[in-house]
Amino acid sequence: MDFDFDLFVIGGGSGGVRAARIAASEGGAKVALAEEHRMGGTCVIRGCVPKKLMVFASGFSRMVLDAKGYGWDIRQHGFDWSAFHPHLDRELDRLEAAYRRNAEAAGVQIIDSRAVLNDAHTVRLSDGKTVTAKHILIATGGRPFVPDFPGSDLVMTSNEIFQMEALPQSILIVGGGYIACEFACILNGLGVEVTQFYRGAQILKGFDDEVRGHLSELICESGVEMHLGCDVIEMQRQDEGIWVKATNGKNRHYDAVLYATGRKPNTAGLGLENVGVKLGHRGEIVVDEWSQTSVPSIYAVGDVTDRINLTPVAIREGHAFADTVFGGKPTKPDHHLVPGAVFTQPEYGYVGLSEEEARKDHRIEVYATAFRPMKNAFIGREDRVLFKLIVDADDRRVLGCHIVAEGAGELIQLAAVAVKMGATKEDFDRTVAVHPTMAEELVTMRKPVRSA
């Protein structure tokens, strides 16, 4: 059978674009890619990139205060969203254009349209036209989830927050995951009065418990009003703003409400069920270790598979798919010991197991220290950093590394190399410290604080 394309990719985010580029440029495939919104996907347009730029912007309020402690006479006149936001939009336009340009330069035909499956080899575009392909790759990412309750139509999500015309004076953030905590810190740093609700007992479920408690205290001390074990009952639009009725009885008005209560795979309406693609209980596309679905001609990568929902992972999965199917180099994406960072203030960088995970299958020793770094101590700041290593008591491998500190995202990238290589605690101990730095604690902790 003759097909219009060797590969048709649905979704123009990081994973889909990488797969399309490699299949076309290195695999010699005839490739088309359909994107119904903007090229770049969640990370570039409404996720990692604009969020990190807002993290940078929000950090200057603290820098100004710290500068005064170091003798600088700096006047702070507040944050001007109207000056920052157009610059942000221009940067996203630049990145989107780069994604499009690089894909087209590799030989990928970009189709600005929604695409859904007709059968195992056919997609239907928004204009009704059908296109055939030998292989189809689904890379449609995820979408924010907002529960249904009275007034739920009044909230915004992480998709819309970057399009605000003006900063609110007050905001309620509902959720306790990394997105909620990041935006609580960002908006607090930009001068917004932030309240955070989370129905659980502690924020950042799924991360190391000691880190969760440490970060929760720091976020509260920074000025965020956090209410744990609390949820929204209903909301109403009133003259004073959005009135929120809470389960803890502390009802009040907010200028805006942001829901960051999780994300779901973006599979609705793609026609997957009709062609026999198996879905999981959260709507994720079920794939094997080669990213192949239950239909042999259809593959999926990235957040739509709900494996590890990180941009670099989606890129690795897309590249591995292209190498396997079009490059003659069978490659499985490596999901073991993937590092990550939560861009709260301070940041949290991690790689490997949490203490709780490690306890399940290993005898462990925990090396940890929390202290005021020199920079903070000099000006009387009480904020403490946290460094933590989880070590296998039998073979001495470092099973997990956790850092809560300024620049932790940068630090963990380097530590992750050692952990990925299988470094032992003694390898860390043999490494000479760089002094005076915070990170020297990684190689100077000699006695475990506890064992299990």
Q: What is the pLDDT along the chain (452 residues), one digit of tens a residue?
A: 799 999 999 999 999 999 999 999 999 999 999 999 999 999 999 899 999 999 999 999 999 999 999 999 988 888 999 999 999 999 999 999 999 999 999 999 999 999 999 999 999 999 999 999 999 999 999 999 999 999 999 999 999 999 999 999 999 999 999 999 999 999 999 999 999 999 999 999 999 999 999 999 999 999 999 999 999 999 999 999 999 999 999 999 999 999 999 999 999 999 999 999 999 999 999 999 999 999 999 999 999 999 999 999 999 999 999 999 999 999 999 999 999 999 999 999 999 999 999 999 999 999 999 999 999 999 999 999 999 999 999 999 999 999 999 999 999 999 999 999 999 999 999 999 999 999 999 999 999 999 98
Closest by CA to 127, choosing from 140, 103, 111, is 111
Task: Read off the pTM.
Answer: 0.94
Pairwise CA distance, residues 133 & 5, whole Å: 5
Judge residue 248's burial from the number of C-beta atoms within 10 Å of its C-beta, 0-12 exposed, 13-18 middle, 19 or more buried.
exposed
Domain 152-261 has CATH 3.40.50.300: no
What was the pLDDT predicted at 202?
Answer: 97
Pairwise CA distance, residues 329 & 42, whole Å: 29
Note whether 403 and 349 are within 8 A (CB): yes
* 3-state helix vs strand vs coil in the chain, percent to 5: 35, 25, 40
Active site residue 281: no
Selecting among 77, 281, 336, 435, the annotated active-site residue is: 435
Crossing angle for the helix pair 81-105 and 14-25, to the nearest 10 degrees: 30
All CATH 3.50.50.60 domain ranges of the chain, comma separated, are 5-143+264-326, 152-261
Give the CATH number of domain 5-143+264-326; options: 3.40.50.1980, 3.20.20.70, 3.50.50.60, 2.70.70.10: 3.50.50.60
Cβ-based neighbours of 128, under 8 Å, separated by 6 or more: none
Note whether 416 and 402 are within 8 A (CB): no
What CATH class does 340-451 carry?
A: alpha beta
E-strand spans in 17-129?
31-34, 108-111, 115-119, 122-125
What was the pLDDT predicted at 77?
Answer: 85
